[in-house]
Amino acid sequence: MTLAGGNKLITENSIQTEEKVNNIKVLKFGGSSVADFNKIRHIADYLKKRVEQKEKLVVVVSAMGKTTDALLKNVATLSERPKESALAMLLTTGEQQTIAYLSIILNDLSVESVALTGAQAGIRTEGHHLKSKIQTINTTKLQALFKTKDIIIVAGFQGINHEDELTTLGRGGSDTTAVALAASLQASCEIYSDVTGIFGTDPRVYPETKKMDYVSFEEMMELSSLGAGVLETRCIEIAYNNNTKIYTGKTLSEEKGTWIVPNEQIIERKAVTGIALDEDMNYVTLSYPMHDTKVLTSLYELLEQNQINIDMISQTVNIDGMQLSFTMKNTEQYQIKAIIDQLTASYPALLHEIKDNYAKVSIIGSGMRDMSGVASKVFMSLIEEQIAYYQVSTSEISISLVVDAGNAKQAVQILCKKFNV
């Protein structure tokens, strides 16, 4: 498959001479689900039962537990600035251990399986070594393997670029791997973790929140992009563009999880479906005492070159000059500091401030399109509780506010009660 036509994934090789295998399901198990050998054995037993039901399975796995963190800690003792290509090569070994262990156990259970790295599974990537995007997936090998194998185990989070270098897909990369494979094979995707499904908000913040049986692609993309932290936005975008249904549930649990489905399959739309809290953000303000837009052009060019996303952008121009404010992920604070240093070298009068004592609270719901008064309820609810908000941005189905970090969880609780989330 390849990325084409509005990022829609289409099959790269149609296998003209051979019939495709049907009844394929793609399953993904996260790091907590495969954290030790005992857990991997239980998953193997479960997969054997699925095979006995005549299913063909592609199983995508993450690295075991905190393996990736341990690898990064090792690197920190060796170098402050490791080469990205070398770091990507190292990080891919975590998932490769998991696929090998799971395949060994499955074969001992007399289940025909094979373990593949992302590269061996036909996943081609482009972009930075540590934040690559899937460019194509060649499914020919997978289809051929299903003639003799019941389970194909694929290392998540990784692929290979046009220079045959190993790459990683960044945060949430294993979810992206699973959904992209499901899209290419025209299968559904099941993502399992230690969470029972998708809730209206983080249950640790508001324990009374309700689990959703269904949520639309559109709402899930907003929730993910605004900090809900359940699934990465990229995997939802792939699912949306290819009409690939996603099921999220707790590993080896019989409790019902949540289906993420096309928008038109959601019949009743609530004004507010979910509330996201993003505490992992920085609030950046740049001030320049002249009306010179070249500094902004230089900023945006550097942000694009470094693939840094910013949001909640506001710009003011007055007699004192220009001021630009925006929010961004705090995981990229070193990159933004380097960019600002570059800008300051060219524009010495540029001043900047990076604050980490704020949080972003977002209200999401596709029903906002048809229901009036949602914004006023949000603002009035916070004003009544004397919770200040400093910046607001909106879309058709969301409202986001920047608040003091110390008030963020209380703001979420107030809004959950107000909108029965």
Note the pLDDT of residue 9: 46
- The answer to whether residues 347 and 368 belong to one domain is no
> CA 133, CA 125: separation in Å to the nearest integer?
5
DSSP element (H, E) containing 96: helix 84-108
User: Structure tokens of 270?
Assistant: 């609530």
**Burial annotation 65-94 (CB, 10 A radius, 16+ → b, else e):** bebbeebeeeeeeeeeeeeeeebbbbbbbb
Contact partners, residue 294, CB within 8 Å, separation at least 6: none
- The answer to whether residues 143 and 132 belong to one domain is yes
Domain boundary among 303, 325, 357: 357
Question: Is the whole model's pTM more than 0.85, yes or no?
Answer: no
* Of the candidates 219, 274, 265, the residue with the CA atom closest to the CA atom of residue 415: 274
Q: Is position 156 annotated in a ligand binding site?
A: no
User: Does 219 reside within a domain?
Assistant: no
- The answer to whether residues 349 and 371 belong to one domain is no
Q: How many domains does the chain have?
A: 3
- The answer to whether residues 43 and 188 belong to one domain is yes
Q: Is position 200 annotated in a ligand binding site?
A: no
User: Does 270 reside within a domain?
Assistant: no
* Of the candidates 214, 226, 230, the residue with the CA atom closest to the CA atom of residue 175: 230
User: Does 290 reside within a domain?
Assistant: yes
Domain boundary among 357, 376, 400: 357
Note the pLDDT of residue 20: 64
Enclosing domain of residue 37: 24-194
Contact partners, residue 76, CB within 8 Å, separation at least 6: none
User: Does 248 reside within a domain?
Assistant: no
In degrees rounded to 5, what are phi and psi of residue 399?
-135, 125
Domain boundary among 144, 165, 194: 194
Q: Is position 149 annotated in a ligand binding site?
A: no
* Sheet strands (E) in 8-100: 8-10, 24-29, 56-61
> CA 394, CA 117: separation in Å to the nearest integer?
41
- The answer to whether residues 307 and 408 belong to one domain is no
Q: Is position 199 annotated in a ligand binding site?
A: no
Alpha-helical segments (H) within 186-332: 217-225, 233-242, 294-305
- The answer to whether residues 369 and 353 belong to one domain is no
Note the pLDDT of residue 246: 96
Structural contact between residues 187 and 193, judged by C-beta atoms closer than 8 angstroms: no
- The label of the residue with tokens 């799971």 reads 102
> CA 298, CA 89: separation in Å to the nearest integer?
32
Q: Is position 131 annotated in a ligand binding site?
A: no
- The answer to whether residues 34 and 155 belong to one domain is yes
Q: Is position 68 annotated in a ligand binding site?
A: yes
User: Does 266 reside within a domain?
Assistant: no
- The answer to whether residues 84 and 154 belong to one domain is yes
Q: Along the chain (421 residues), what's the average pLDDT of each consecutive run of 10 residues?
A: 42 37 90 96 97 96 93 90 91 95 97 97 93 93 95 97 94 92 95 93 94 92 82 90 95 94 79 91 91 90 88 87 89 86 93 91 88 91 94 91 94 95 92
Please name the amino acid found at residue 354: I
Domain CATH code at residue 403: 3.30.2130.10
Q: Is position 217 annotated in a ligand binding site?
A: no
User: Does 94 reside within a domain?
Assistant: yes
Note the pLDDT of residue 2: 46
Domain CATH code at residue 318: 3.30.70.260
